[in-house]
Structure 1
Amino acid sequence: MFLQFIRHQNRSWIKLSAILLVWLGLSIFLLMHYGLDFSSALIDSILFSLLVIFGFMLLDNIFKFYTPTKGNKVLLVVFPLILSLLILYSGDFLIKWVVPSNFKNITFLNEAFVLRGFIILLIFLSYSLLLNLQGKLQEQVEAEEREVKMQKMANEAELHQLRQQLQPHFLFNSLNSISSLVKVKPEKAREMVLQLSDFLRGTIQKEADRWIQVEDEIQFLNLFIDIEKVRFGHRLQVNFDIEAGIEQLKLPQLMVQPLLENAIKHSLYGLTGDVAINVQFKKMKKSLEIIIENPFDPKAGQTKGAGFGLEAVRRRLFLIFGRYDLLKTTALSQQFKVELLIPQIS
């Protein structure tokens, strides 16, 4: 990195030196064209070029720390005008009084005084306008960067809030089930408490890791299913179909659990008898696709709170990927299907 910086600086100096040489060459040629001898043209070109460079540096420092407001735009003309007069008279003084013996055409200085001043003023005016435009663009870029950072912080805060909502949502349902089991099946209630503890411990430990591998998510889902089986017994059957070689693909934590919880609610609260829910994990191009299918009774209506998980997941997907097309639901006859697509971020 340091060597690259040094090489970049060297290239910059080479370019700057080349520009200065071309400028001096053209200036000398122009002055000789209007009657100056080579030595006089060389002195004139070097002296005024150094003064102009000094003026550039001075303007650069002025507008680096001060950007004229709408009511002070006149300063874009005042500063270059003052600086042009200063350099014009300074250059004229230095040539006439400091090196008069080497400068053989004082008459040319007097005749070119006004024209030279006008040219220097145009150069400084153009440079000050360029610096002002650069400052405005820099301010605009910085404002956009601040806006992006603020939006990112807002999205992260909303994502955190959604995640914190999902855990209590599942926790309250589990606690209600534990409460109903305490008197009739205390051993089952105790078993459910232990499983719930394992589940929450795993999610809390992964708090700092927003993305987890498929195999980790499936472990959480199995813990969740074990808890639900304590509630519903043999009625609940969840079948996993996991494509080989995708265990290392990643997805945001707790993205599938609320969808599976919805599937269980749709199925078990609306139907009698055993219920089989199918969960499929597979790779689709550069994305991870998760499909959840469950039976449901269209006439039974939606269970209370069953839409929260879908909306929360849809909102999380938008905040992470900026897309609304990653979650699709389909209801055909007595089969409900959820398709979730997770683009893989490399």
Structure 2
Amino acid sequence: MNHPFLKNNLSRILFMVVWIVIGAIHATTYYFIYNVPINLALIDSVVWNGLFALLSVGLWFWVKMFDIETSRPFSIFINHIGTSVFSVLGIVFLHKLIIQNSWLSTNGYNQIFEQFEPSRYIAGFFYYILIVLVFYLIIYVGNFREKVSREAELKALVKDAELNWLKLQINPHFLFNSLNSISSLTISAPEKAQDMINRLSELLRYSLKQSPNSMVSLNDEIENCKKYLEIEQVRFGSRLKYSLNFTVDVLSCMVPSMVLQPLFENAIKHSVAQTETTSVIEVGIEQTNLGISVSVSNTLPPTP
């Protein structure tokens, strides 16, 4: 993961704005509360906060090395204790060195520096802890979003796998029965066999051109299912009838490809395929507040 405040122009601007605000609070506090001259307060703030801004750039990568989710708490604690002591002592030393080698050292600043030096160590540790906590929060949010994204992708893959599994379980049986019917018709009714071959080829062509995740209009799905029912009517003859009830407004709705045919196959399997009398497959499609509602039912004669 790149540095969260340096990965693009917007992040860099935000990084600078944050430190400018912190610096402004620093200088304002010195000027109004401790009566430090404004020029000295501003210079002190620029040097002090500038050093911590530079530290925060490198500290991000150190925090990443000791991620809460992958590192032991004791190891994290010990490493940050050592790093914080080294960082704070180093920044206080550099701050003093920069000030003493500038014109401020001859302008009464040394006395002011000595007055605030003890509190700088406390402020330095506070800065370090705050920066580390912000970085760990950013890492946590990033990991959480990644987990949510992966979970959503996994759920989508599971749904696709379930749908594909359903297709693979049903289509081979349908093809086997259709080919058996065609084989019988080539002898008894060649014209019907030819018609059934044409319908079957159209059905297979529709199935093959659809990718696993493709979406098609409900109108295309209904037309495809009509071809399927017509093929089954050749097989079952007058024993199979069907009724499609839907409104025109649902035809343009998008649905997963090949999602309706398994419903028809299941309805036929548990009706006309188990009786010698006429069975009617009734299909109702309507649009509701929750989406598209599809109902498929069959009629079986009452058992004596």
TM-score (norm 1): 0.71
- Quote the residue 1:276 is aligned against: 280
Kindly provide the CA deviation profile for residues 49-84 of structure 1, in whole angstroms up to 9, marking residues without a partner as x. 322333333323433565472152111221121010
Q: Is the 8 A contact 1:40 1:104 kept in 2?
A: no
Question: For 1:203 and 1:188, how far apart are their aligned partners in 2?
Answer: 23
Question: For 1:119 and 1:14, how far apart are their aligned partners in 2?
Answer: 20
Q: Is the 8 A contact 1:279 1:291 kept in 2?
A: yes
- Could you say what the CA RMSD is over the residues aligned between the two structures, in angstroms? 3.2
Residue 24 of structure 1 and its aligned partner are, at CA, apart by: 1.7
**Matched residue SS, 2:60:** helix
- Quote the residue 2:136 is aligned against: 132
Q: Does 1:119 align with 2:123?
A: yes
Kindly provide the CA deviation profile for residues 180-225 of structure 1, in whole angstroms up to 9, marking residues without a partner as x. 4444444433432232122111221234663222221221122112
Q: Is the 8 A contact 1:277 1:292 kept in 2?
A: yes
Q: Is the 8 A contact 1:39 1:103 kept in 2?
A: no
Question: For 1:37 and 1:112, how far apart are their aligned partners in 2?
Answer: 14
Q: Is the 8 A contact 2:284 2:294 kept in 1?
A: yes
Pair 1:77–1:197, CA change in 2 (3 A): same
TM-score (norm 2): 0.79
Residue 12 of structure 1 and its aligned partner are, at CA, apart by: 7.2
- Quote the residue 1:162 is aligned against: 166
Moved more, 9-18 or 117-126: 9-18
What does residue range 148-227 of structure 1 map to in structure 2 within 5 Å?
148-207=152-211, 210-227=214-231
Structure 1 gap segments, 5+ residues each: 301-346
- Quote the residue 2:5 is aligned against: none
- Quote the residue 1:55 is aligned against: 55
Q: Does 1:72 align with 2:72?
A: no
Residue 232 of structure 1 and its aligned partner are, at CA, apart by: 1.8
Moved more, 148-157 or 213-222: 148-157
Pair 1:264–1:286, CA change in 2 (3 A): same
- Quote the residue 1:25 is aligned against: 28
Question: For 1:15 and 1:273, how far apart are their aligned partners in 2?
Answer: 80
- Quote the residue 2:246 is aligned against: 242
Residue 88 of structure 1 and its aligned partner are, at CA, apart by: 0.9
Residue 120 of structure 1 and its aligned partner are, at CA, apart by: 1.1
Residue 171 of structure 1 and its aligned partner are, at CA, apart by: 1.0
Question: For 1:43 and 1:206, how far apart are their aligned partners in 2?
Answer: 68
Question: For 1:148 and 1:290, how far apart are their aligned partners in 2?
Answer: 25
**Matched residue SS, 1:141:** helix
- Match of 1:239, as an amino acid? S
Residue 101 of structure 1 and its aligned partner are, at CA, apart by: 4.6
Structure 2 gap segments, 5+ residues each: 1-7
Q: Is the 8 A contact 1:88 1:117 kept in 2?
A: yes
Q: Is the 8 A contact 1:263 1:277 kept in 2?
A: yes
Moved more, 14-23 or 220-229: 14-23
Question: For 2:248 and 2:158, how far apart are their aligned partners in 1?
Answer: 38
**Matched residue SS, 2:108:** coil
- Match of 1:292, as an amino acid? V
Question: For 2:67 and 2:270, how far apart are their aligned partners in 1?
Answer: 63
Pair 1:217–1:295, CA change in 2 (3 A): same
Q: Is the 8 A contact 1:28 1:45 kept in 2?
A: no
- Quote the residue 1:92 is aligned against: 96
Moved more, 210-219 or 153-162: 153-162
Name the % identity: 25
- Match of 2:75, as an amino acid? N
